[in-house]
Structure formats: C-alpha cells, structure tokens
Amino acid sequence: HPHVGYRGTELQVEQLGARELAQRFGTPLYVYSKQSMLDALAPWQRALRGRAHLLCYAMKANSNLAVLQLFAQAGCGFDIVSGGELERVLAVGADPRKIVFSGLGKTRTEMARALQVGVRCFNVESEAELEVLSEVAHGLGRRAPVSLRVNPDVDAKTHPYISTGLKDNKFGIAHERALATYRRAAELPGLEVVGIDCHIGSQITEIAPYLDALERVLDLVEAIEAAGLRLRHVDLGGGLGITYTDEAPPAADVLLAQLLARIDARGHGHRELLFEPGRSLVGNAGVLLSEVLYLKPGVDGGKSFCVVDAAMNDLMRPAMYQATMGIVATTLRDEPPRVYDVVGPVCESGDWLGRDRALAVRQGDVIAVLSAGAYGMSMASNYNSRGRAAEVLVDGAQAHLVRERESAAGLFAGEHLLS
C-alpha cells in the first residue's frame, strides 16, 4: 500500500512515522491516509467517466465526519442504513439528493426524516416495508422515490456473515417476487419507482459473482419495463474486496470495465449506474496502532501471547469473522521474531487480533494492524467500559485529530442513578 509502508525501519503513514503518531496521540489509535482514500476512489471515477453515474460511499465502513467530508468534496454520494448515518452525513453538508437509504428495517421515523430532507432514493427490502413507506410519504403529502433491492440468489463466495445475495439471507426481495412487488409499488400512492438495486455481499474477490448478479438484475429490468414501468437507475451495490494478506481482488476499474461491457452489450448503456462501495474506498487507508503491554512466553511449548492495548471492542473483525488482518511492528528490530497470539485486554477468549504471528517486539513497542480503515472504528464498542480510540487523518506531513479519544466520564454521561 503506497501510503502505508516502511521508510528504513519505521512504518510511515504518508510522511509521518506511526510510532511518533502513537506517542503524540496515544494508543489505541486509528490512523488514516487521506491520499490512500482518494487513490482508491480514482479508478471508480475514471471507469465511470462520461456515463450517468453516482458513487454512493457506503458510510458504514468508516463514518468519521472528516472521512465523509473528504468523499463529499470528491463528489460522492452516500449509502446510508440508519437515521444516525443520515444525521452524520448531513452534518458534513452532504447533498441529500445524492443519498440512497438502504437497510431492511427502516422505521417510520427514519423514513419521515429522510423524506423531509429529500434523499435521492429508498432501497426497499420487503413488500411490507413498501406499504409502510407509501403510507408515511402519503401522510406527508410526498411521493417516496424507491428502488427495490432484489436478491439475485448468487453466491458471492465470501464469508457467510457478509454474504448477502443468497436466497436464505434476510436481505432483499426474492427474485421471483420482484416483478409482482414492482407492480404493487407502481399502484401505491406514496411511491415513485425510480430504480432497482442489489448487493450480493462484501469482501468479494472475484468478478464472476458480480457478472452473475448483473445478468439477473438486467433480466428483471427488462421484465419490469415490459410490464410498463420505467427504471431510471440500476444500483449494483458495493462489496468489492481488498487485500488484507494474500487476497487478490480485481482492481475497481477492471471490475467496472467488465460490468460496463455487459451492460452495453445488453443495450442498457444509457441507464444511470449507482454503486455503493465501502471497504474498497477506505480499508487499506487505515491502520490501528496499539502498544505492546506485556509479552507472555508460552509454557512448555504452549502459545506465547503479545498483550496489546487494543482489543475486540476497538476492532471486531478478528473476533467476529475470524478475519485475518496483517500485524506488523512499527519499528523493525534486528532480532529474530517470535510467534505470538496478539490479544487484547478484554475478558473474552475471543478477544484476539491475530493468531500465530511472527513479530520481533518488546514491551512498550507499537504494533500496527493493517487494512483497518474499514469496519474498524465504525464497529467499535464500549465493552468492558473501554472508551473508543482516537482517530487521526494524515495528509502529507500533517496529522489531523479527527476524533478525540472517548473519556471514561463520557461513557456514562447519559446514565442515571436511581433517585
């Protein structure tokens, strides 16, 4: 990753040393490279240049305000999944007409707020939701722009927890119900049909599942239009994977070139295209820095542990998906490495960041978990009453503290004693 790498023995994020950042801002610390985010966006924009399109950054991947601001300024729209995300992205001045609202459990309150600010589209995930959205919009004297999220029933070949396009997933409207649901949408007074969408999963490293989903979606588009409805846009969701260790996902422009070729070949080249990339825009731009608190050598050939000050509450992916993320020392030592399980202080055996990692580290050193820019801080919790980490955005030789470390007092500020 060009903006996160070693200069001599020191890990750098753009022009700044990771160890110095850890000393200056404390640990655990998320550090992001601004240039890396912009570089990840560029191939998406390049491949879509000259076509009607909207890139809606899936802000669940990393919803720090400064990150949202960066993508808004770069011309992106946003894919949101809650009222909280809506308020967050409005707080950076994002254009509501570039926001698509996804998610299978939108509340009436969330719908009303999104209608009031004028989001571009609701991605509706069930027939029941469609009825409620129409009712809410009608009650407000509006028509809600809708796109149905269809479930193409393709295997994205990713982890079961982040695969979303299979029949038995809770997401989307079954392919065979799609046409009937569109007909119903067209009848409802509070709705205006504007598009169709799908999202088949996350951390996808192959092109084939995207092409399969595309064919299924275009079949539907044709059937829906044959039934007399008009669809302005086709939203192909997000899901493009990144390299954590040895994965080799296609580059965004390679994926897009293949999708666009198919779209054109089937005569849909005039349609506006939407995408909802999250991880691929921010994942490789971030590291999680953490101090080595203690080294616990294995007893009788058993495991050795490297106890660090970051834990599962800071970075859930290893505990939740057995995700493998690179872990490196921020200062390379000329010493033979030893093999450790890198674990946090939380009282759960599932609290580990990496297993069987060769590291040459001493107590007090700083390690970096790589590719932690996506689904790191955004999934962090306060378990064990641990305040969430600070976040720093590096721009060249400048470090901006974009989120302060949570204080203990802040954690219980909203709680009340019995009177």
Residue 340 CB, nearest approach to ligand LLP (Å): 23
Q: Is 321 marked as a binding-site residue?
A: yes
CB 164, CB 201: distance < 8 Å: yes
Residue whose C-alpha is closest to residue 279's, from 256, 260, 253, 252? 252
Residue 202 CB, nearest approach to ligand LLP (Å): 3
Q: Is 83 marked as a binding-site residue?
A: no
Asked if the bond preceding 336 is cis, omega within 30° of 0, the reply is no
Q: Is 30 marked as a binding-site residue?
A: no
The one-letter amino acid code at 157 reads K
Q: Is 210 marked as a binding-site residue?
A: no
Q: Decide whether 102 or 181 has the Cβ nearer to ligand LLP.
A: 102
Residue whose C-alpha is closest to residue 151's, from 130, 129, 123? 123
Residue whose C-alpha is closest to residue 26's, from 284, 294, 309? 309
Q: Decide whether 17 or 354 has the Cβ nearer to ligand LLP.
A: 354
- Total residue length of the chain: 419
Q: Which positions touch ligand LLP (CB under 6 A)?
A: 58, 61, 79, 102, 162, 199, 202-203, 237-240, 276-280, 317, 321, 375, 379
Residue 183 CB, nearest approach to ligand LLP (Å): 24
Phi, psi of 373 (to 5 degrees): -75, -20
Q: Is 345 marked as a binding-site residue?
A: no
Torsion from C-alpha of 81, 82, 84, 86, nearest 10 degrees = 70
Q: Decide whether 351 or 365 has the Cβ nearer to ligand LLP.
A: 351
Contacts 24+ apart (CB under 8 A), 84-87: 85/59, 85/60, 86/110, 86/113, 86/114, 86/117, 86/119
Q: Which single residue is written with the structure tokens 């009340």?
A: 416
Q: Decide whether 53 or 199 has the Cβ nearer to ligand LLP.
A: 199
Residue 285 CB, nearest approach to ligand LLP (Å): 13
Q: Decide whether 123 or 134 has the Cβ nearer to ligand LLP.
A: 123
The one-letter amino acid code at 357 reads R
Cα 197 from Cα 195, distance rounded (Å): 7
Residue 402 CB, nearest approach to ligand LLP (Å): 20
Cross-strand bridge partners of residue 53: 273
Q: Which member of 56, 121, 198, 347 is catalytic?
A: 347
Q: Which residues of 344-376 are buried (b: 16+ CB within 10 A; e: fewer)?
A: bbbeeeebbbbeebebebeeebbbbbbbbbbbb
CB neighbourhood size of 202 (10 A): 24
Q: Is 317 marked as a binding-site residue?
A: yes
**Cα 9 to Cα 17, 278, 325, 372, distances in angstroms:** 10, 32, 21, 21
Residue 119 CB, nearest approach to ligand LLP (Å): 14
CA atoms within 13 A on the CB side of 243: 9
CB neighbourhood size of 141 (10 A): 8
Q: Is 238 marked as a binding-site residue?
A: no
Cα 317 from Cα 337, distance rounded (Å): 25
Q: Is 84 marked as a binding-site residue?
A: no
Q: Is 250 marked as a binding-site residue?
A: no
Q: Decide whether 238 or 387 has the Cβ nearer to ligand LLP.
A: 238
Whether 347 is catalytic is yes
Residue 80 CB, nearest approach to ligand LLP (Å): 10
Q: Decide whether 217 or 329 has the Cβ nearer to ligand LLP.
A: 217
Binding residues: 239, 276-279, 317, 321, 348, 375
- Binding positions for substrate are 279, 317, 321, 348, 375
Query: Which active-site residues does the annotation give?
Result: 347
Mark the binding-site residues for pyridoxal 5'-phosphate, compressed into ranges: 239, 276-279, 375
